[in-house]
Amino acid sequence: MSALGTIATASFRQYSTYRVATAAGVFTNTVFGLIRASIMLAAISAAGGELRGYDALQAATYVWLGQALIAPIETFGTRELGERVHQGEVAVDLLRPTPLLPLMYAQKLGRSSFLLLARGVPPLLAGAVITGIALPESLWSYPLGLLSLLLAVTVAFLADTLVNLAAFWVLETRGLGVLYMAVMNLLSGFLIPIVWFPDWLLTIARATPFPSMIQTPVDALSGRVGPAESLLPLAVQAGWVAVLALAAVLALRAGERRLEVQGG
């Protein structure tokens, strides 16, 4: 247990050394937030001040919370594990005394904590100054929102790991990763809230783990969905964690049996 704790701390520190990159990321994230907020607010005002439960302030909050989650959720996906499988370096990872998936999860938690604080919170504050953001009515929304965020990071980590593990079977995973990112950005409710979708698309989105990555934590943190009502979406998140964790363990086990590393 303490080994994983050390790994998480080290991962947090590792990312904190890139200061210029962090500042650049915050800046870019804020500019994109401004662009997205402009589109959303124009849509709300065209709809007469309210669109399917979102007024201007709720929509702005939705955008800035979404921007805050980009970095810790890693919506652009990671490619490290897939590349290590291709290079054969994964053989070394599999020999380590700490099992691969918990090790990577510890790294992810350390990294995400740093990214949330350094890259997520500043754009959120910028947004609060520029457009204003809605704060939840109930204090319970804060702990439930943070729990939802932890579950969201876990769901995103597991799904991303599964995409990377595909490298055991297919030679080039970049195309798959790009495809995954496009679908995830849409169905997670990152670009627009999923309740704005037409019914058929909403049905598709709800059948996938994607809303558990962005829409659910944003709803819980912003208080748009009250504490009592957010218990069900949180349970759905926990369900996806269980399903995807099982899938990732099975995929890794099957991949290990297939793995063939040349040379030494």
Interface residues with another protein (CB under 8 A) are 18, 20-21, 23-25, 27-28, 31-32, 34-35, 38-39, 41-43, 46-47, 51-52, 171-172, 174-175, 178-179, 181-183, 185-186, 191-192, 196-198, 201
Shortest Å, Cβ 91 to another protein: 25
* Pick 39 or 231: Cβ nearer another protein: 39
What is the DSSP secondary-structure string of 136-195? Answer: PSSTTHHHHHHHHHHHHHHHHHHHHHHHHHGGGT-S--HHHHHHHHHHHHHHTTSSS-GG
* Pick 194 or 251: Cβ nearer another protein: 194
Q: How far apart are CA 256 and CA 231, in angstroms?
A: 37
* φ, ψ for residue 244, nearest 5 deg: -70, -35
Question: Quick one: how far is CA 246 from the chain centroid?
Answer: 19
* Pick 3 or 39: Cβ nearer another protein: 39
Shortest Å, Cβ 18 to another protein: 6
* Pick 47 or 146: Cβ nearer another protein: 47
* CA geometry: angle 85, 86, 89, nearest 5 deg: 55
Shortest Å, Cβ 206 to another protein: 15
Contacts of 189 (CB under 8 A, 6+ apart): 205, 210, 211, 214, 215, 218
Q: Indicate the helix (H) or strand (E) that contains 55.
A: strand 54-55
* Pick 92 or 201: Cβ nearer another protein: 201
* CA geometry: angle 111, 114, 117, nearest 5 deg: 145
* Pick 204 or 249: Cβ nearer another protein: 204
* Pick 95 or 171: Cβ nearer another protein: 171
Shortest Å, Cβ 143 to another protein: 32
Q: How far apart are CA 88 and CA 103, in angstroms?
A: 18
Residue 261 DSSP symbol = -
The one-letter amino acid code at 109 reads L
Shortest Å, Cβ 128 to another protein: 17
Shortest Å, Cβ 188 to another protein: 12
Shortest Å, Cβ 65 to another protein: 17
